[in-house]
Amino acid sequence: MALKYLIDENVDPIYTVQLHRLKPDLFVLAIGDLTTPKKGTLDTEILLWCEENDFILVTNNRKSMPVHLADHIAQNHHIPGIFILSPKLSVGENLEQLLLIAEGSLDNEYQDRLTLPR
């Protein structure tokens, strides 16, 4: 099954635009889109949405997301994965990592994991 990305609301919208442009067949939505959680939704609710809809969350939230993930798993929930964008990489380099991951990943490879693209 192909990966699906949900772009967090605090991530620059250029990520959603460029992922659609560079790989039109990649399923990418952003917080606030019609079928996704509304902007301002709590992280814990976003993780539940990702679990229910089989999306990997793409975020730049390095502080609280590891805690939210640990709590989510402790409550016997699962998530397809969380990717935290690297502030050390340019937008283009982060996009390249997201595209490489989408093309070369196995099913459930990132389940319940928080991954920092390099």
On whether residue 65 sits in a domain, the answer given is yes
Whether 11 contacts 86, CB under 8 Å: no
pTM comes to 0.93
In this structure, are residues 91 and 15 in contact, taking their beta carbons and an 8 Å threshold? yes
pLDDT of 19 reads: 97
The overall average pLDDT reported for the chain is 92
Residue 110 maps to a domain: yes
Mean pLDDT score, 82-110: 90
pLDDT score of 62: 87
- Integer Cα distance of 106 and 110 in angstroms: 8
Residue 93, in any domain of the structure: no
Give the whole-angstrom CA distance, residue 7 versus residue 28. 7
Looking at residue 4, its amino acid is K
Which whole number is the average pLDDT over 79-89? 93
User: In this predicted structure, what is the pLDDT of residue 107?
Assistant: 73
Residue 108 within a domain: yes
Count of domains in the chain?
1
In a domain, 118, yes or no: yes
Residue 109 lies in a domain: yes
Whether 30 is covered by a domain: the verdict is: no
Per the structure, the complete domain to which residue 76 belongs is given by: 1-6+60-85+103-118
Q: Mean of the pLDDT values across residues 75-96?
A: 94
Is the pLDDT at 68 greater than 80? The verdict is yes
pLDDT in tens, 6-37: 999 999 999 999 999 999 999 999 999 999 99
Residue 26 located in a structural domain:
no
Q: Is 76 helix (H, G, I), strand (E, B) or coil?
A: coil
pLDDT at 118 over 80: no
